Amino acid sequence: MNLEQLNPKKRFSSRTQNYSKYRPDYPNEIINYLQEFIGLSKTSVIADIGSGTGICTKTFLDNGNTVYAVEPNEDMRQVAEHLLKAYDNFHSIDGSSENTKLKSKSIDIITAAQAFHWFDPKPTKEEFLRILKPNSVVVLLWNIRNAKSDGFMQDYLKLIQKYGESYTNDSTNDFIPKFFDNRTVHKKVFPNPQLADFDRLKGELASFSYIPTESNPNFQPMISELQDLFKKYNNYGNVVLEYETHLYYCKVK
């Protein structure tokens, strides 16, 4: 299935509220790491491409950076504009990875969080090279469930595999080196566990685009199984969603 069929710019519209409320954020340690290894400073100008509801954008706004949040989905963009309206250094852009509407050579660091696999590689690469200043860096981020964990996470992943619809077979081992023309790509993994009551667990599950919606006949059986998992594994009303934040960076100019 190609990107056009997957409709990445609109497929999250019905999940915007769950996405903004329940998706995990990013650990503060990534700021220290990027300060050390790519020279991130408070004066660095960031373009957060595929910024969604602003989860990653906020991480850099809190560091004092000017951030241009580029998002093609109107519903997600409006949520970010509401949540981040207090930040003077926040700029919301109705654009995409292929057409950011940003000035040439205006950006120090490009970030893409939970979004890079949705981009059309060739026009995106051309656009990134256009907007980046010399000696600039692209940073990619994903929050990924820890598949090596036992207990709750193993059973939760089995539930997702049972009810989720596969949407891509791509692997970061393949498309990241290809996108960067086999330049050196650095990787760092950060633990990012999330404490979740049942409402958060249900909301986070429903935020994923490959999970059945409430109108789907599989939704209620899925939620019933999720309730059984929660009853089995919760500790004083919470379970731990064991996430890891995978960070990649590459100097592209």
pLDDT 10s digits, 20-68: 788 999 999 999 999 999 999 999 999 999 999 999 999 999 999 999 9
Distance CA 222, CA 37 (A): 43
Asked if the model's pLDDT at residue 149 lies above 90, the reply is no
Q: Tens digit of pLDDT for each residue in 117-140? A: 889 999 999 999 999 999 999 999
> Contact at 8 Å (CB) between 54 and 83?
yes
Q: Considering only CA atoms, which of 176, 147, 144, 154 is closest in space to residue 245?
A: 144
CA distances from 134 to 14, 200, 201 (A): 39, 42, 43
pLDDT at 169: 39
Position 165 scores a pLDDT of 79
Q: How does the average pLDDT of the chain come out, rounded?
A: 90
Q: Is the pLDDT of residue 9 over 90?
A: no
Count of other CB atoms within 10 angstroms of residue 214: 9
What pLDDT, on a 0 to 100 scale, did the predictor assign at position 132?
98
Among 180, 100, 194, 167, smallest CA distance to 139 is for 180
The superfamily CATH assigns to domain 3-144+167-193+243-251 is Vaccinia Virus protein VP39 (3.40.50.150)
Cβ burial 91-112 (10 Å sphere, 16+ → b, else e): bbbebbbbebebeeeebbbbbb
- In sequence order, which residues have a C-beta less than 8 Å from that of residue 163 and are 6 or more positions away? 211, 212, 218, 222
For the cut 60, the answer to whether the pLDDT of residue 6 exceeds it is no
**Per-residue model confidence (pLDDT) at position 210:** 87
Q: What is the DSSP letter of 235?
A: B
Higher pLDDT, 10 or 24: 24
| Separation of alpha carbons 184 and 177, rounded Å | 8
Q: Sketch the domain layout of the chain as residue ranges.
A: 3-144+167-193+243-251
pTM here is 0.89
Q: How far apart are CA 109 and CA 41, in angstroms?
A: 10
Q: pLDDT, tens digit, for every residue of 182-223?
A: 899 999 999 999 999 999 999 999 988 889 988 999 999 999
Task: Write down the pLDDT at residue 22.
Answer: 84
- Give percent of the chain above pLDDT 70: 91
